[in-house]
Structure 1
Amino acid sequence: MKNIILFLLLFTQCFYNYSQSYEFKTIVDMEATDVISQGNTGTCWSFSTSSFLESEINRLTGNFIDISEMYTVRNTYSDKSWNYIMRQGKAQFGEGGLAHDVLNSAEKYGLVPNSVFSGLNHSETIHNHSEMVVVLNTILDTYISKPSGKVSADWKEVVENILDVYLGKRIDTFTYQGKTYTPKSFLEYSKIKTTDYLTLTSFTHKPYYSKFILNIPDNFSNGSFYNLPLQELVDTVNKALQNGYTIELDCDVSEKTFSSKHGIAVIPADVKDEAVSLNKICVEKDITPSYRQKEFENQNTTDDHLMHITGIVKDQNGTIYYKVKNSWGSSSDRVTHGGYIYMSEAYFKLKTISITIHKSAISKNILKNLGI
């Protein structure tokens, strides 16, 4: 009889713990620029990394600067076009990119504030690159497929003219808060040193603590990733956030349990709980490195979205969630956290492709193991 009573008590407690509506307590919450929308574009990589750099500028200088996402996009399209032509069309050409593409653009072309380069022309108020991408693809493929087999030298000029029309011409100098800058001198003013940022990941098909090029479609620029054991990657994120560093995140958001409407991202242990888990706490799956690797290799985990981690919250059971700034627009709805997602640690473990972080936020021991 006692055993039955004990079982019922444990069952009731378990049911109570995992049938509650979410209640979150803020643990770490760092300031960030306003949530904005990437519109009808595939440029989350620029919006999220620009937001990340804006927080870095604030950390380094105490100032918030609204960086132009589209200045980076415009310059990256030039580089993508060159890569596509040189590889004779056998390369990724589209709207996607990664965090290191923003850093590469900043190093090569500098930064500008959004007030001097919005990327919106002809009285537009929402970014829409659907037509521009088709035009660019068509032009590049036409040059590649010329009967002579040789690409005309004027393709660069044609591409630049298209980008000028849709996004705006490159800027040589501009005025910001009463001072004149070039994009390169504005980068210096921001105190951002692009070489101070590292991209970390965790996969078992490469040795831990090695540096390698991750073969994913949007890595057109062949950026390198440092490989850490999964728990060390999680510990690095937690420590960085607790020490005042925000983090750029590349992850998969294709799961039914990633919901911008509900402002939640979780991995329930039982697939039957997928719908319930958007509103109520459910037991989550234990994510192992081998399971993570399997989901990556079978392409259930892909690099389809980049966002910006700015804090930590906990639910009433003590489960950690990351406060993640999205680029799908803001909302005053209490449930959606104003355009943020609360992502559980389990979701992060399974669905993260990589993070980008300032090297000073990484422990000395890990840097030593990475050979840095």
Structure 2
Amino acid sequence: MKKNLMQTLGLATVFLFSCGSVNAQDILVNSLKLNASDNSKNSFKFTEQINLGTTSVKSQGSSGTCWSYATNSYLESEMIRMGKQPVELSQIFSARNVYVEKGINYVRMHGAVSLGDGGETHDVINMFRKYGAVPREVYTGLNYGTDKNKFAEMAAMIEGVLSAVVKNPNGTLTPNWQKAYTAVIDSYLGEVPEKFNYKGKEYTPQSFAKEVVGINPDDYIEMSSFTNAPYYQKTMLMVPDNWSFDQVYNIKMNEMTDVIDNALKKGYTVAWATDVSEKSFSWKNGFAYVPTKKFDDMSEEEKKDMFNGPKQELDITPEMRQQAFDNYQTTDDHAMHIIGLAKDQSGKEYYIVKNSWGATNDYQGFLFVTKNFVKYKTTALMVNKGGIPSDLAKKLGV
């Protein structure tokens, strides 16, 4: 998934929001303030039921790295859950390593695989396992004077390098192409330090990941729901940005929200990949749901009223979900971080979701998403296996 704020809002001004460093005041532990706009206050009355710890809202800028921002935010919340002082992790360190691995994969596949900025939540875990982690203050990825991510030129450059390699003008590849390719990435994002100091102690990325972050990559399980594959087994996540061909556990549609509910109640947040192209997903209003009518079938009055308070929703079936995926109506657009549960004035439940588009909407970087939307539009979710209901964990063998 790779949608960014510019693509969604079409506003040049949205990239004025930078990702500041985290301090104790930035950490939100059961203290999310739902400071809605006046319009939203008049339309919705949300009451928090569960609100787990998270760090401050960031902006991914003009880059398709939502998957890295969402999953690193998720790991920061895992540190909070484990009783650790969370560190703002370098989102671009994860992305940089994915670019390197993706380029190698691209050449091996003769160019017949996705390139670009896109990735999946499992990419952060895979890179954590192989490369470790670093604080953002050590590696910002802002290597040429900008104060925000702006990756289009770099993307064009690395695509040009890899296209030349795939054409293989020498008839056989030299060992230097990977050095040349990595050098292009590092010229834009900066070289990764072999060692660095953090709070008076020297670390490598691997020792920092082990000693400070302290998560076990094997504890994280990725799931989705498809009717065209056996349940409770692994299946390929068939989306273009799954460049590493990772598999996910296939569970039943209603079990996705069962997993999220159970995880939240046990203190675990959830990394969430989804479609955000629907007209009923409104970043500005901080609200997403599944209307009973298609947008094109709505009257002008109904369209104007779409986000004016709680609405009835379409009942979702596994067949509808699969059809939307197969027809490209559900696409792998974006990744976010589910951090809690709330109810509106009618008693309906919503997930509290942290985004990476800056504090630019009615809820200062958060939004409220209905369970039906999650059932319909989720492409994948990732959770610590400790958050999975015990009966489902047995079926999956985890």
CA drift of 1:274 comes to 4.6
Q: Which runs of 4+ in 1 moved over 3 A?
A: 146-149
- 1:304, 1:279 → 2: CA distance? 25
- Are 1:43 and 2:69 counterparts? no
- 1:363, 1:274 → 2: CA distance? 39
Alpha-carbon deviations, 1:221-261, whole Å to 9, x = none?
A: 11110011111111111111122110000000000111111
Higher alpha-carbon Rg: 1
**Number of the residue aligned with 2:53:** 31
Contact 1:71 1:111 in 2 (8 A): yes
What SS class does the counterpart of residue 337 from structure 1 fall into? coil
Contact 2:292 2:312 in 1 (8 A): yes
- Are 1:159 and 2:181 counterparts? yes
- 1:265, 1:341 → 2: CA distance? 8
CA drift of 1:143 comes to 1.6
Residues 354 and 115 (structure 1), Cα distance of their counterparts in 2 relative to 1, 3 Å cut = same
Structure 2 residue runs without a partner (length 5+)? 1-41
- 1:148, 1:109 → 2: CA distance? 32
**Number of the residue aligned with 1:301:** 330
**Number of the residue aligned with 1:186:** 208
- Are 1:347 and 2:373 counterparts? yes
1:150-229 equivalences under 5 Å are 150-189=172-211, 190-229=213-252
**Number of the residue aligned with 1:88:** 110
- 1:284, 1:260 → 2: CA distance? 18
- 1:236, 1:149 → 2: CA distance? 51
**Number of the residue aligned with 1:358:** 384
Counterpart of 2:94, as a letter, is T
**Number of the residue aligned with 1:12:** none
Q: Could you tell me the TM-score, scaled by structure 1's length? A: 0.92
Q: Which of 65, 79, 96 is the matching residue for 1:74? A: 96
Residues 175 and 147 (structure 1), Cα distance of their counterparts in 2 relative to 1, 3 Å cut = closer
Counterpart of 2:354, as a letter, is K
- 2:127, 2:372 → 1: CA distance? 33
- 1:226, 1:147 → 2: CA distance? 41
- 1:239, 1:143 → 2: CA distance? 48
Contact 1:144 1:150 in 2 (8 A): no
**Number of the residue aligned with 1:235:** 258
What SS class does the counterpart of residue 71 from structure 1 fall into? helix
The more displaced of 24-33 and 76-85 is: 24-33
Alpha-carbon deviations, 1:62-89, whole Å to 9, x = none?
A: 3111000011111111100000011111
Counterpart of 1:35, as a letter, is V
Counterpart of 1:194, as a letter, is P
- Are 1:21 and 2:43 counterparts? yes
- 1:256, 1:275 → 2: CA distance? 12
Task: Give the number of equivalent residue pairs.
Answer: 350
The alignment's C-alpha RMSD in Å is: 1.2
| Percent sequence identity over aligned pairs | 39
- Are 1:330 and 2:359 counterparts? yes
